[in-house]
Amino acid sequence: MTAADGKVGYVFGRYLLVTTQAAAPVKAAPSVTTPKAEVTAQPPAKAVSGELIISAAASLTDAMNEMKGIYEKQNQNVKLTFNFGSSGALQQQIEQGAPADVFISAATKQMKALQDKKLIVDESCKNLLKNRLVLVGPKESAKVKGFSTLKEASLISIGEPDSVPAGKYAKETLTKMGLWDALKDKVVYAKDVRQVLAYVESGNVEAGMVYLTDAKISDKVQILSIAEENTHTPIVYPAAVVKGTKNPEAAQSFVDFLSSDAAKEVFAKYGFSLVK
């Protein structure tokens, strides 16, 4: 309604609301801009490069040679060179200052000896693989059937127990089985487990004790018996970076690679068991 004085109002029941001007528009609250959190991009993994010398137990020869192509394909600026031998001989080489970036032993004894002399990067050391010890004979041999007839052999071969882990395990097994005293004069000692395998393959001995993985790669020998695991020290392969390496990043990269899915497939192919 319009009043006499020209004011405008609205009647609601008995109440009169009088306004003298249009209502001021309600201003919207100022918008508040929340500052965006800064996202820091994660730097890509640092590429490694250079040359690495891998001192590895002789029983790893075939697996490592296959591993070489896979690792170098993933790390195209790294070149691997392998130095295979008995774990004891490799230990002595490292102690004497021979170049080595990574050490992979067929026993914890040699790795522990290098750790005690502060020649290993302790935090890089890991137990990597397990293996089994077997008695083998020439493919066509029928004279020795297993441990029960081993005394009938004229010559048998094992690795040198003081420097070859497989030889140490073999002596432990034969001693545990009560066979060592009867056989020790028939033993032909070898510088590493691959030489034992070669002696058996050539027929120069009638039996030998090697790792299961070695027996599997030869078509010239047969497995006569598998040693019970409670007859010898556990067969464990540790790997670690050598403290004297000139390329610690690449060396650690290779040790890490040995636990990758690609590496595990290769190890399984050659009969190694993985340490969980």
- Is 166 labelled a binding residue? yes
> Count of CB atoms within 10 A of residue 174's CB?
25
What's the CA gap between 220 and 268, in Å, rounded?
22
Here the tokens at position 239 are: 């790997």
* Phi and psi at residue 168, to the nearest 5°: -65, -45
- Is 163 labelled a binding residue? no
The CA-atom distances, in angstroms, between 1 and each of 7, 10, 12, 14, 23 are 9, 6, 11, 14, 17
- Is 157 labelled a binding residue? no
CA angle 39, 41, 43 (to 5 degrees): 155
Q: Give residue for tokens 């299961």.
A: 212
The closest alpha carbon to 241, from 227, 256, 230, belongs to 256
- Is 211 labelled a binding residue? yes
Q: Which amino acid is at 50?
A: G
3 state SS of 5: coil
Binding positions are 59, 87, 166, 193, 211
Binding positions for molybdate are 59, 87, 166, 193, 211
